[in-house]
Structure formats: C-alpha cells, structure tokens
Structure 1
C-alpha cells in the first residue's frame, strides 16, 4: 500500500468496508452475476433471480446509487448493466477463491 496519512487510510478503509458491505448480500451478488452476461431489463432479472419485484427494485436501486450499475429507460422498460468492471473482477476473484469448496 501507498503511504497514506492516518486520515486518508481511515477513509480508504471505511470506503472499502462500505463496498464489501454492499456486496455482502447474496441477492445483489446474484444480480451482478446475471448482469455479467449483458444488459437486462427488470423482467429478465426477475426471471433469473427469483424474488419479488419490490425486493428486486430495492437491490437494483441500491446498486445503481452506489455506481455499481447503470440504467437506461426504453419506453416503459428499464435496463440495467454493470457500470464498474472492477466490481465484476472482485466478484470473480471471490468465486474462484471459493470454488474448490463447492
């Protein structure tokens, strides 16, 4: 790690903890995994990730607000896609780490 001041290091670690907290929900990881295969609308996500529409919307909104996902509207449909490719790398690294345990 670089040489950070105490305040910079504290802020960096707080930000990292927030990101790991966001990724700690299996539902959000499932959404991210599904979107690794390309943009999907909410209906397609609901088909892939079995949950209720309000629950899906809550998770999508949280991931969008934190900059993990992009969204776009096409008529009445809202499409989501991965906004931060580093998140995909983090998730893939963790899955590879855990894979032998399956």
Structure 2
C-alpha cells in the first residue's frame, strides 16, 4: 500500500506565496528571465542586468531562499540556474499572463507602452521545452 503524504501550509498558500514574493521584484524577475536561458555565474548576471555583484547576489539569495534557483560552485565562482523546468514554466506563464493583460496599455501619466524586457523569448521558450 502506498504511503500518503500530507503537505500542510500555514497561512494558506505558503509555498506559492514565497515564490510570488521572490518574483515581485523587477530585478529578480529579470534574473529569472536571464537564467531561463541557462546557468550563469553571478558576475556575468550582474554585468548583464546592470547592478553591482553584491546587489545581484542579494537578489539571487532571495530567489534561492524561495527555492526558485539552485547553485553550483566551480573553483571560486558560484553558478546559478533555475531550480527546475517548472520554474521556467512558472516564469513563462507569468510573462504570458502579463502580456495578455497589459500589452498596449499606456503606463499612467506617460505615453509609454508595455514591451518586452529585451531578452530573446525564443531562447527562453526553447529552455522551457528542454532544448
């Protein structure tokens, strides 16, 4: 007979809440977008998205605590990658929902419209497909 495992969440949606809070920062969302294209060392991530290595590390630690990323050490470098294909799926779903609901709408007080953050979505979609 197969053993039943019960998962109890204190406060309701505890597990999803941690992931949602971790992705609530635009900088962390950008990190997830870049990591959806493959594993990177923290220095390369910092160079790609702009802030200092220390600031990037701080954001990566928040993603790590939410278990959205994993680490691998090689010599003196720490490499970050998304924790699983389900994180890529989560990110693609959030991005698609956002685009479906706000693309073409101007930001209040400006004439700007919502647009992609500039990373190649084909590469992210290939990563989600396992390719």
- Could you say which TM-score interval applies, normalised by the shorter chain? 0.7 to 0.9
The aligned residue for residue 47 of structure 1 is 47
Q: In structure 2, what is the Cα distance between the partners aligned to 1:31 and 1:9?
A: 27
Q: Is the 8 A contact 1:68 1:82 kept in 2?
A: yes
Q: Which moved more, 1:49-58 or 1:9-18?
A: 9-18
Q: In structure 2, what is the Cα distance between the partners aligned to 1:14 and 1:83?
A: 18
Q: CA deviation at 1:99?
A: 2.3
Q: TM-score, normalised by structure 2?
A: 0.64
Q: CA deviation at 1:89?
A: 1.2
Give the unaligned 5+ runs of structure 2.
Answer: 1-7, 104-113, 115-131
Give the unaligned 5+ runs of structure 1.
Answer: 1-7
RMSD: 1.8
Q: TM-score, normalised by structure 1?
A: 0.80
Q: In structure 1, what is the Cα distance between the partners aligned to 2:23 and 2:84?
A: 13
SS in 2 for 1:99: helix
Q: In structure 2, what is the Cα distance between the partners aligned to 1:24 and 1:11?
A: 19
The aligned residue for residue 4 of structure 1 is none
Structure number with bigger Rg: 2
SS in 1 for 2:13: helix
Structure 1 residues 1-102: aligned runs within 5 Å: 8=8, 11-100=11-100, 101=103, 102=114
Q: Which moved more, 1:34-43 or 1:79-88?
A: 79-88
Q: CA deviation at 1:10?
A: 5.8
Equivalences, count: 95
Q: Is the 8 A contact 1:67 1:84 kept in 2?
A: no
Whichever structure has more helix as a proportion of its residues is 1
Q: In structure 2, what is the Cα distance between the partners aligned to 1:26 and 1:59?
A: 10
